Structure 1
Amino acid sequence: MNKFYLSFLFLLLMAAAPAVAQQGVIRGTVYDEGTGETLIGATVMAVGTQTGAITDFDGKFEIKLPVGTYSVRFSFAGFETIIIDSVAVTQAEPVVFNNIVMKEAVSELGQVVVTAEAIRSSEAVVAITKMKASNLVDGLSAASFEKIGDSNASDAVKRITGVSVEGGKYVYVRGLGDRYTKTILNNVDIPGLDPDRNSIQMDIFPTSLIDNMMVYKTAVAELSADFTGGVVNIETKDLPDDKILDFSLSVTYNPSMHFNSDFIMGNTSSTDFLGFDNGDRALPNGARRENIPSPLSGDSNGDVNTFLKGFNKTLGATPQTSFMDYSLSFTSANQFDAGANKLGYIFSLSYKSNSTFYDDVTYGEYQKRVNASDRGLRYATVQNGIESERNVLVGALAGLAYKTENSKYKLMGMHLQNGINSAGQFYIDNDGEAIGQSGYKAFSNNLEFNQRGLTNVLLNGEHHLKDGEWDIDWRISPTFSKIEDPDVRKTAFTYSDTDTTFSAGAGGNPSRIWRYLEEVNLVGKFDITRNTQAFGRDAKYKFGASYIYKERDYEILSYDLQFFGAQPDFGIDPNRVLLDQNLYPDGTIYYNSANSTPNSNEFNSNSRNLGLYVSTELNPTEKLKAIVGLRGEKYQQRHTGRDVQYAQLGTGNNLEDELVIDDFDLFPSVNLVYALTEEQNVRLSYSKTIARPSFKELSFAQIIDPLTNRIFNGGLFQYGDWDGQLGVTRIDNLDARWEIFLPGSEIVSVSAFYKSFKDPIELVRIPEQQASTEYQPRNVGDGEVLGAEIEFKKDLSFVSDALSNFYVGSNVTIVESRITMTDTEYNSRLAFQKDGEEIDNKRNMAGQAPYIINASLGYENFETGLDAGLFYNVKGSTLFIVGGGLFPDVYAEQFHSLNFNLNKTFGAERNMSFNFSVSNILNDKREEVYRGFETNDQPFTIFSPGMSFGFGFKYSF
């Protein structure tokens, strides 16, 4: 019996042991309000216990306590002590305080007592970061994303002052175009899925992975100099303080696009849903030969027929029913003890599928009328029809972080795969009385598939030596991009009242294009900071270096359908064209290569950019901070390619690894911050920056858009007075801002800026090409930009206490831009001057919006977990393409975007959330138009995105 009781008691003790050992964790980060930086060496203690911790070099701490409720004290010599009451520690989840902000004590016994809920809901850290930043910064934190329920970075970033989002994914800062805005990831250059843009697609980053997004609007020496409007830095989480195990699902319904039986699609493959082709669109064997198999090549009839059957037979789109947009994402992240160190991981998978359908698309080509008294614009070609698209984006991100007492290491890998399947059917009307036009009518089928893959790796080390006197940060990041447009097909039947056929001189014979691009982007950089004293106050001296190598291979192959004899009768069905009985030798159809040897539409380009910098951050007086730096960049760009004349005749231009840019520039920067009070700053800054042409722009490439027949020409081509010497743009920048930070996240700021552009690059209509629609990037006359920004956010408690959870906010950017035209452009405009029209040698700058307005009316209630807002955004009418001579300018019209968003969290741990959104409430159209003197605008591109309704659900395990 005694043995029985002893055994029973033993089992009870064993069962009770876990309960006794049950522990929870409190983690967080402590900031110094005076500097905006993390505070090293602060003491964190659970009141009434002997358990505590000291903040490390990241300002982070962790203490483990038995399950229960505690008061936690934060103390540091010379700073007010903070006590957080009612901290409930459980075994299930760590308690996380990432907004502990300590300020210098005004008295020896200074102390602040707050509740746990209040400290967790604070957004003070972002405000302090903006207040104490060396340069002019605006941004958002993870706390902001969670409050409003933004699912990805593109939804969130447009709430930042002076920021607009183009096409739902690309960020423009201060109304300047993509050329002058740069996006970086974790402070490292990374190309996007479109390598011709500085901005990466923002909608690929789920907000659950983002620690913060900051927009730097003024330069400092440690930033690369190739930006002007701003740099958007997306900082991902490395060692998550809280465990993340999230699953989210969202759907979007657009009544004008989804479940529509008029939706069309062309040839598809079994792997399109994963964002890549399975080989159905592959280039046939023999297609790369100089003389491809044809009746004229000397190949046997059997070989010609076999070659022709290697081409996919689908040339026309067929009706289908479109489905709703939907997206799925899964994210997991956590950290663990690794002895005395910390090990963390983050992993995310995302999948998005979007379908768009436009049944009223218009593409137009218009000319000025020759008669000076006739102010109207006449059409050369107008296309009206329908366009469908399925867009799939698959993303995977994985990262590891390891932290020791004085160092932190991060390894992150990301792969993005994007597939876009599109189809269009258009009626084409060409006016034979327009200059350079033949006059015809046609019905066209266009089929395209674009697949893009991007793989990025980041290896980062951060070290803090000699008790924080020296900080070293190094980063290595390779990126590999591959883009293909396999088998782009255009089939246009020219028709009249009595005939339907193909006509090479009108709608053109059926054509097929294959495009290939591969790019390598290698980045290495290090930054060293010496923390010291000057003028009796804290000071920093920084120096560092970066090296960026990029290389791109690009190739276009094109083929035209021909007839060895009479055309068969196809009716108007493009899918009857390549039936076996129509192929040579049984029929008359064969393909002809439009490729020269060597290929004029093939190039290799590479660039090397070595950057070195030094800077200092000093506090000459108690209220004045000065950040002065100098950056030098040695930039070389080489090109291997040739023009059409050389490829066909051997007498044109042929470059073999030729230096097309070889520059060394110095980029000084000065930022002054004067603290009027603890909450108010006045900022002044000056810097020099640069904008360089892309590989595509500095080439001989001729890239046709089969849908619109618009042709892009590389800047190396010589036309008329254009010498083919496309060069860089150098910019001088002046900025000033007054800012006041109110309690919570409220702010009022007023900014002014001035920018001077030397040789800006703009996309120009080529006046000599009157029979075709061709554009080229060129250096135009010098330019200036003068602008102002106003931002405010305020709750409505000043109206009534009952309205304290409501807020109103707005940020407005107003810009005046001016370009001094070149003599060539000015004279070409004079040649088509209208009666009563006054033309001077000044115009607006292409790509620069005259104004941006962001406004919001919202409701925030942390206690109930309900957040909702009505958000409005508009960008003013902007010069899009520079005309001249016969051709009018093209403007991108205002798009009035009014959206509603509601986010509600549920559950005791708030681990569930529901999101509802309405986009484009005003049902506005996207319009780009030709604009002439005292005449109605005419369409360049017009389509209607319609109104969308979104539903989302997120669950955190």
Structure 2
Amino acid sequence: MKLSKRSRLSRAILLGTVFGSGLVLAQQEEGYKPEIAAPGPIEEVVVTGRLKSVAASIVDERIEIPFSADFLGFEAIARAGDSTIAGALRRLPGLTLIDDKFVYIRGLGERYSSVTVNGAVVPSPDLARSVIPLDLFPTSIVESIKVQKAFGSATPANFGGGAIDVRTKSFPKAPLISFSVGTGGNSISHSGLEYNDSSIKPLPDEIAGAIARYKGDISQSNIFQTENDAGNNTTAQEAEQIQRNLMLALPRQIGMGENLDNKPDQDWKLAVGNSWDVGYQWLVGGSVSASIGEKFRNKDQIKREIGNPEERYAEVDRTSEEERATYSATLGAEYGNTHAVGLSYFDIQHDVKDASISRGFDSNNPPSDGNRVVKYQTRTEERALEMVQLTGEHSFEGLEFLYDWSERLAFLESLRFSWFYSDAQVTTDVPNQTNYSGSTDLSTGFTQISPAPAAGQHVFLELEDEEESWGGSFELPVYLDQTEVTIKGGYAASEKFREYYQYTFNVNTTGLSSSVLAGGPGRVMSDPVLGDLDNDFTASLGSNFGTESYIAARKLNAYFGELDVRLSENWRVTLGSRWEEYKQALLTVDLLDFTGTSIQAQIQALQDPNQRFAFIEDDWYHSAALTYSDYGLFGSEEYQLRASYAQTTVRPDLRETAQVVYIDPQINQRVRGNPFVEKSDIDHLDLRAEFFYENGDNFTVSLFYKDISAPIETVRQPGSDDNVVLTYENAKSGDIFGIELEGLVTVPADLIGMDGFFVSGNVALSDSEVEIDTTNNVLTNDVRRLTGHSEYVINGQLGYDSPGGIHSVSLIYNVFGERIYFAGVAGNDDAFEQPFHSLDLTYTFYPTDTLSVSLKVQNILEEEREFEQENSSGRNVTILEQEVGRSWGLSAKYSY
């Protein structure tokens, strides 16, 4: 076997990215330092290394791919100690993390990125967004993550900042047994709030039956009328009892205990698998794995209103309990190097239980009145993703009989074909979200629930999102004299169906005495108080926001083709085109409308030629890339210069086009969809230079520019501060440009007197501008940066691997520049989330080849999240502060 220049480079990078130690254990004594062999025949060598940053296949892919992309291997993820994909991705250049769930690529929001799993589209469990929240995926199932930043025809055309592809682990090629157990905690989360929520259904059967029987109106008068119309001779008191029984059917385990001890974090992982040689060149295998975890975190906040922060503020005590469970199974078969098929199954569950108590003052209750506003909220959200994927890769090598039959078919020997099929379903249930308002008399300390309409609300949400996707692609190299032309093409399709239903049950307390309403919601809604008909509780349905539910469907068909031409050893040209047909239909559903009025209104609206409730569109999207590669520049083993241009689009999420009003749980604001919001077309220009060195050091610099036509922005509609409603509109124009720098440097041993240190990191500097028509909204600035865009993002890592491979340490730093949280209105400037300086430490000890012990400490600096806004008077106000605390984790792992 001979090593080509490219193969030797990949091996050098692989060895060098044992994070700079320059040491490899190659079946030699500890301390042996091998040299990289010159080209020529070699014997098989078994090479192992602790925590490589990228696998050799990832290095090859980064070099070979014609379009700019960044990669993360599972070794680098393990090195940083991130438990979810969202946390891991913030280590890449130009990526920032929003709400611990959504990744912004090159300053563009989550709508500007697409997420696939093994190339397949995946539905989203998020209540307000079609893009999947990346905190749902644990890193334990990940083999590598690819973030493509320059568009190619094989990538979905819904492409803005980039496309994320999560590649999961396949079946093992050798016996696998792995077990780990971990614990941890947080410096501010020793004690907190807790409530017992035993509800398991989105809506109690009694209430669902009453909605149908009383046609959405559960007032006592309508119950009385309906029952008597049915011949039941119901009295007014009996009608009152029927309504009260509906309130008693509510999940009412909402009494919150304060200062309760939180349990320490728990984390358990188990994986087993094997493969077997079952015949001539046949290898079959499989694996199963399970991961279960639980953690408590306090997320206490201080909120201040921009106009009068001294008198309008709230202190929020909030505790969140998270439970995660991931189960996966893989089966696979390989025949030599020519055929491989795989079957994967994933069941991911993520439950979050929140409890919060807010105490403060507002415009109707200033401190001078002596009454403090108290708001109680509980929320249980259960998210689940179930996915089955089938994949295959095939080549036509070894079919000599076919070539003997006709020499004209000899070119097929180089043909490669791959395909996939994926069927996924996500569900999100909020079996009971409660909101109760109350007050505390500061002079006496007496606390009660407010005597008001809808003083208490129970919200029931149910989301089901199904997505089926499939496709295939081929690759055929053709040699013409000194030119190699690779012809690529393929097909991709997906079908999506989403249902979202929301019911709001109001508990009205108007006219009730203080003795009845004394205490918190746990006491007021208890059986003795609520069950007493002398206490005149009443109930109603609806949130007064209008329609909140909808159903939607989406279908996509795409064909793509690409020519990859190697003009010479140095020059390469790649040209591609993609055609997509996109169909979408969306129907709002008024669950309390039994007259058909809302349906008739939508039927009428469909006659409008400009309507977007149901439409079909198709278009072509083109890409071109030019690559120059050579050796020796700046002392590099190899370098590549890339330039690419592409045309793509970004389509609005389904929910953004639904004419419904809903509460976005991420920002806790009312949002109204806009059926007339349209897609944003984008022109991309990317330049990148990559330098790779013999010892594994590397350096990359990238320039990018994006011109966005009619970007989709979140804006505020006119209204008072007590009636804030956000919506979506197409801005006039927008653009973003910037530079990214990243690299890995081995620290010379003779410089510091020690071997094994390395430094790696990246810096992204960028700017953006969006121009918005403020005619129909109350925005202060008609020209500003894009929402969520940071002008700089910095990641740095100082690492050490001991020469014997016994110790591994990383000190990791991350910071993003201030970014717009929401656009300012009524003369107030835009609100900015302030930079967060994250400093984390991970240490792993390997006492044996099969056992490891890891310690990680996150947010060593104990930074807090802060949001600032300048008001119309020029004063800078910290409108939101949220504690984060210092977290730690300790785990032990056995693997064979």
Coarse TM-score class (shorter-chain normalised): 0.7 to 0.9
Is contact 2:716–2:779 with CA below 8 Å preserved after alignment?
Answer: no
| Contact 1:293–1:303 under 8 Å retained in 2 | no
CA contact (8 A) 1:899 1:919 kept: yes
Which residue pairs with 1:389 in the alignment? 320
1:696 aligns with 2:655: yes
Q: How does 1:618-633 map to 2 (within 5 A)?
A: 618-633=565-580
Question: Is it true that 1:317 corresponds to 2:256 in the alignment?
Answer: yes
Residue 672 of structure 2 is aligned to residue 713 of structure 1: yes
Select which of 388, 391, 396 maps to 1:465: 396
In 2: Cα distance, 1:387 partner to 1:121 partner:
37
Residue 336 (str. 1) matches residue 288 (str. 2): no
Distance 1:209 1:358, change over 3 A: closer
CA 1:504–1:602: 2 relative to 1, 3 Å = farther
Aligned counterpart for 1:800 among listed residues 751, 755, 759? 751
Contact conserved, 1:645 with 1:652, CA < 8 A, in 2? no
Paired residues of 1:673 and 1:681 also in contact (CA < 8 A): yes
Is the counterpart of residue 288 in structure 1 residue 229 in structure 2?
A: no
Taking the aligned partners of 1:293 and 1:317, their CA distance within structure 2 comes to: 29
1:174 Cα deviation from its structure 2 partner: 2.2
Secondary structure at the aligned position of 2:748 is classed as helix
Moved more, 398-407 or 460-469: 460-469
Segment drifting more, 124-133 vs 467-476: 124-133
**Is the 8 Å Cα contact of residues 764 and 883 (structure 1) preserved in structure 2?**
no
Farther-moved stretch of structure 1 (777-786 vs 438-447): 438-447
C-alpha displacement of 1:494: 3.8
Q: Which ranges in structure 1 are unaligned for 5 or more consecutive residues?
A: 1-28, 40-83, 89-99, 270-276, 368-376, 717-724, 831-838
Query: Is contact 1:600–1:641 with CA below 8 Å preserved after alignment?
Result: yes
CA contact (8 A) 1:362 1:939 kept: no
Say yes or no: does 1:265 pair with 2:188: no
Task: Please state if 1:177 is matched with 2:105.
Answer: no
CA distance in 1: counterparts of 2:729 and 2:3, whole angstroms: 48
Shift of 1:906: 2.3
Q: What is the root-mean-square deviation in Å for CA atoms of aligned residues?
A: 3.6
Cα distance in 2 between the residues matched to 1:86 and 1:795: 20
Q: Secondary structure of 1:308's match? A: helix
Per the TM alignment, residue 934 of structure 1 is displaced from its structure 2 partner at its CA by 7.1
Alignment of 1:921 onto 2:860: yes
Q: Look up the equivalent residue of 1:510 and give its one-letter code.
A: G
- Asked if 1:134 is matched to 2:66, the reply is yes
Identity of aligned residues (%): 21
Establish whether residue 875 from structure 1 lines up as the match of residue 799 from structure 2: no
Q: C-alpha separation between the residues in 1 aligned to 2:882 and 2:51?
A: 42
Q: In structure 2, which of residues 480, 484, 502 is the aligned counterpart of residue 556 of structure 1?
A: 502
The CA deviation at 1:559 is 1.5
Shift of 1:114: 9.3
- Counterpart of 1:946 (choices 855, 860, 885) is 885
Are 1:456 and 2:401 an aligned pair? no
Three-state SS of the structure 2 residue aligned to 1:787 is strand
Q: Deviations over 1:516-553 (max 9, x none)?
A: 11111111111122222245233211111111111111
Contact 2:327/2:348 (CA < 8 Å) preserved in 1?
A: yes
2:142 alignment partner in structure 1:
210
The aligned length equals 826
Instruction: List gaps (5 residues or longer) in structure 2.
Output: 12-23, 29-34, 228-233, 399-412, 607-611, 632-636
Match for 2:644 among 685, 693, 699? 685
Distance 1:790 1:264, change over 3 A: same
> Aligned with 1:430: secondary structure?
coil
> Does residue 811 of structure 1 match 2:762?
yes
1:861 deviates by 3.2
The separation in 2 between residues aligned to 1:766 and 1:357, in whole angstroms, is 33
Q: CA deviation at 1:921?
A: 0.9
Q: What per-residue deviation string (whole Å, max 9, x for no partner) do you get for residues 875-910 of structure 1?
A: 111112123335542222211101111112221xx1
Question: Distance in 2 between the 1:145 and 1:337 partners?
Answer: 31
* 1:165 paired residue among 58, 78, 97: 97
Letter in 2 for 1:157: L
State whether structure 2 residue 160 is matched by structure 1 residue 237.
Answer: no
- Does structure 1 residue 749 correspond to structure 2 residue 690? no
- Counterpart in the other structure of 1:306: 245
| Residue in structure 1 matched with residue 533 of structure 2 by the alignment | 585
Residue identity in the other structure for 2:787: A
**2: distance between equivalents of 1:547 and 1:101?**
46
Following superposition, the deviation at residue 130 of structure 1 comes to 1.7
**Alignment partners' CA distance in 2, 1:651 and 1:157:** 43
Q: Does 2:655 correspond to 1:739?
A: no
CA contact 1:305–1:584 (8 Å) conserved in 2: no
Give 1:768's match in structure 2, choosing from 715, 719, 738: 719
Task: Say yes or no: does 1:937 pair with 2:896.
Answer: no
- Matching of residues 33-52 of structure 1 within 5 Å: 34=6
Q: Distance in 1 between matches of 2:552 and 2:2?
A: 47
Partner of 2:14: none
- CA contact under 8 A between 1:553 and 1:603: conserved in structure 2? yes
Q: C-alpha deviations, 1:782-811, integer Å up to 9, x for none?
A: 101010011121011075273331111220
**Aligned equivalent of 1:640:** 587
Indicate if the aligned counterparts of 1:147 and 1:860 stay in contact, CA closer than 8 A: no
Query: Which whole-Å CA distance do the structure 2 matches of 1:644 and 1:829 have between them?
Result: 34
After superposition, residues 794-943 of structure 1 pair within 5 angstroms as 794-797=745-748, 800=751, 802-824=753-775, 828=778, 841-861=782-802, 863-885=804-826, 888-907=829-848, 910-932=849-871, 935-943=874-882
CA distance in 1, matches of 2:761, 2:303: 35
Retained in 1: the 8 A contact 2:671–2:725?
Answer: yes
What one-letter code is carried by the residue in structure 2 that aligns with 1:891?
Answer: F
CA contact (8 A) 1:611 1:634 kept: yes
Shift of 1:136: 0.7
Distance of aligned partners of 1:850 and 1:906 in 2 relative to their CA distance in 1, 3 Å threshold: same
1:671 and 2:625 correspond: yes
Select between 645-654 and 926-935 the one with higher mean Cα deviation.
Answer: 645-654
Q: Give the number of the structure with larger relative contact order, counting CA–CA contacts within 8 Å between residues 6 or more apart.
A: 2
Pair 1:769–1:31, CA change in 2 (3 A)? farther
The structure having more radius of gyration, on CA atoms, is: 1
Shift of residue 473 of structure 1?
Answer: 1.2
Match of 1:523 in 2: 469
Once residues 614 and 278 of structure 1 are traced to their aligned partners in structure 2, the CA distance between those partners, rounded to angstroms, is 49
TM-aligned CA deviation for residue 454 of structure 1: 1.2
Counterpart residue identity of residue 363, structure 1: K
User: What letter matches 1:517 in structure 2?
Assistant: L
1:206, CA displacement in angstroms?
Answer: 5.0
Q: Cα–Cα, structure 1 residues 391 and 281, in superposed 2: closer, same or farther, change >3 Å?
A: farther
Counterpart code for 1:555: Y
2:775 aligns to what SS in structure 1? helix
Counterparts of 1:763 and 1:240 in 2: how far apart (Å)? 46
Q: CA 1:933/1:565 → structure 2, altered by over 3 Å: closer, same or farther?
A: closer
Deviates more, 1:441-450 or 1:561-570: 561-570
Label 1:264 to 1:768 Cα distance change in 2 as closer, same or farther (>3 A): same
TM-score between both structures, scaled by the size of structure 2:
0.84
- TM (norm. structure 1) is 0.79
Code of the residue aligned with 1:135 in structure 2: it is F
Post-superposition CA distance 1:707-737 (Å, at most 9, x none): 9862122223xxxxxxxx1111111110001
* Stretch moving more, 456-465 or 398-407: 398-407
SS in 1 for 2:385: strand
Aligned mates of 1:119, 1:446 — CA distance in 2 = 50
Find the counterpart in structure 2 of residue 73 from structure 1: none
Which residue matches 1:411? 343
Return 918-927 or 425-434, whichever deviates more: 425-434
One-letter code aligned to 2:92: I
**Distance in 1 separating the partners of 2:619 and 2:266:** 47
Matched residues in 1 for 2:352 and 2:503: separation? 20
2:306 match: secondary structure? strand
CA contact (8 A) 1:124 1:745 kept: no
CA separation in 2, counterparts of 1:581 and 1:38?
A: 73
1:24 alignment counterpart: none
